[in-house]
Amino acid sequence: MLGKSYDFDEPGLLSVISVGVPGKRTFFLVIGEKEEWIRLWLEKEHLEALSIAIDQFIVRLSQELRQYSNEPSIQSSGDDLPVGLPSGEFEVDQIGIGFDNEKVVFEFLVHALGPQNVDGIMVSCRINPRKVRRLGNLAREICAAGRPRCKLCGRPIDPTGHDCPMQN
């Protein structure tokens, strides 16, 4: 069953936020305009994968189209937070990224699940390369701001301690 669909063309608001303390953080993608926006809940692994995918895209693009290699990315800042409550909140199921060579925009296609996990929500979003790079940086910063990782096994260390499988 296909539920609602959202379509954003160069949204003014495109950000990543985390809520909660390290180790128990919840991650959201925020898309829309200040007064009309949606919140997409996603796993940290999803967010990490997204930042890596964006990085790879940017690298490939800067090789193909030289003009992007020197273009500075917009610095992440906290001034683009939404106002009020989202008009929708969904759980990310899958994210696809594409690039339109003619229009020089990225295309995000998100398949999300509604509150009962039965409705398929489609979110499509077109954004320019600078904003995509900013989103990728933001995603990476937010992922890295979590718990420190163990040097032996690479798993996150909780404030309460770490039971390392490599230290038996």
Shortest distance (Å) from residue 165 CB to Zn ion = 7
Q: What b/e string do you get for 3-13 counting C-beta neighbours within 10 Å, with b at 16 or more?
A: eeebebeebeb
Whose CA is closest to 143, among 50, 60, 13, 73?
50
Q: Which of 19, 21, 81, 164 binds Zn ion (CB under 5 A)?
A: 164
By beta-carbon proximity to Zn ion, the closer residue of 70 and 167 is 167
Residue with smaller CB distance to Zn ion, 79 or 163: 163
Q: Does 81 bind Zn ion (CB under 5 A)?
A: no
Is residue 148 near Zn ion by the rule CB under 5 A? no
For 89, other C-beta atoms within 10 Å of its C-beta total 14
Question: Pseudo-torsion of CA 60, 64, 70, 72, nearest 10°?
Answer: -50
Classify residue 112 by burial, with Cβ atoms within 10 Å: 0-12, 13-18, 19+. buried
Counting contacts by CB under 5 A, is residue 104 touching Zn ion?
Answer: no
> Judged by CB under 5 A, which stretch of 38-46, 99-107, 111-119, 148-156 contacts Zn ion?
148-156
> Considering only CA atoms, which of 163, 151, 160, 167 is closest in space to residue 21?
160
* Site membership for Zn ion, residue 19 (CB under 5 A): no
Q: Which is nearer to Zn ion, 115 or 165 (CB)?
A: 165
**152, 158, 159, 160: which one contacts Zn ion (CB under 5 A)?**
152
Binding residues for Zn ion, rule: CB under 5 A, are: 150, 152-153, 164
